[in-house]
Homo-oligomer: A and B are copies of this chain.
Amino acid sequence: MSEQAQFELFAFWRSSAAYRVRVALALKGLSAHEQNIDLDAGEQRSDAFLKISPLGSIPALVQEGHEPLTQSLAILEFLDELQPTPPLLPSDLYGRARVRSIASMCAADTHPMVVPRVKKYLQTAGGFDDTAWRAWQIKWLSTGLAAIEERLAGSSETGIYCHGDHPTMADICLASIVAVTRVFKITVPDIPTIDRIIGVCDQHPAFMKADPKKQAGAPG
C-alpha cells in the first residue's frame, strides 16, 4: 500500500470517530480525500449519506469497488491489516486484548453517549435544556476517562503511551475522547496518567495532523 490508495473519508471537523481514522491514516502514511458531512446541518441524515452509512454515523471510508466501511473500530482494524507497519496493536495476544479493551472503553462505552443523534433526542423527547445536556456530556466523558485512568495507572503495561512506548488503537481512541472534551471546553480533573499520555500524543505528527481545529470547516 502507498499514497496511491484511493479513499474517500466522509467526516466532520470535530467528529471524534473521524479523528481516529485521520490519526490512523497518518500513522500508516495513507491518505484520503475528505468529504464533509456537516453534522450541525444534519447532513448525516440525508438520503444520500444514509445509503453509505445507514446509521447516519461518520466516519465512512469508501474505496471504489467495495462496500463503504463504517464504524471507527472496524476501520482501524482494516487499516492495520491493509498496511501493517507501523502496527496499531501490540504483538502479543494479551496486549492486543488490553489495547482493544481501552479502545472500546472510549469508542463503545463513552463516545456514543454524546453524539448528535443523542443530543437531538434528549433535547426534544427527553426535555433536556442546554444545562442538562452539558451535565450529560460531562457525566459520560468524565466517567469514561476516570475508568480508563484507573486501568492505565494500575498497570505495568502502561508506558509512554497507553501500552508500551508506541502509539496503538488505545491512544488513538483515548486522544479522540480528549479531543471532544477540548472542543466542548470540558475539563476532567484527576486523570494524571491520561494527561501525561495525551501530552505525548500532542507532540506526535499524526495526532497533530488530525487535530479538529486544523480541519476544513472548523471555526476560525
Binding site for B on A (CB under 8 A): 50, 54-57, 66-67, 69-75, 77-78, 81-82, 93-94, 96-98, 100-101, 103-105, 107-109, 112-113, 117-118, 121-122, 125-128, 132, 135-136, 139, 143-144, 146-148, 150-151, 155, 157
Q: Is the CB of B78 within 8 A of A96?
A: yes
Whether B81 and A96, one on each chain, are in contact in the complex, defined by CB atoms closer than 8 angstroms, is yes
**DSSP class of A's interface residues: helix, strand, loop or mixed?**
helix
Of all chain B residues, the one with the shortest Cβ separation from A157 is B67
Is B101 in contact with A70, judged by CB distance below 8 angstroms? yes
Chain B residues whose CB sits within 8 angstroms of the CB of A101 once the complex forms? 69-71, 74-75
Docked Cα-Cα span, A136 to B57, in Å, equals 19
Residue pair A73, B157 in contact (C-beta under 8 Å): no
Bound Cα distance A66, B94 (Å): 8
Q: Are A100 and B126 in contact (CB under 8 A)?
A: no
Cα distance A126–B137 when bound, in Å? 12
Give the residues in chain B near A50, CB-CB below 8 Å: 150
- 15 new A-B pairs (CB below 8 Å) besides A67-B98, A78-B97? A55-B109, A55-B143, A55-B147, A66-B94, A70-B105, A71-B104, A74-B100, A74-B101, A78-B96, A81-B96, A109-B112, A121-B139, A126-B132, A126-B136, A127-B127
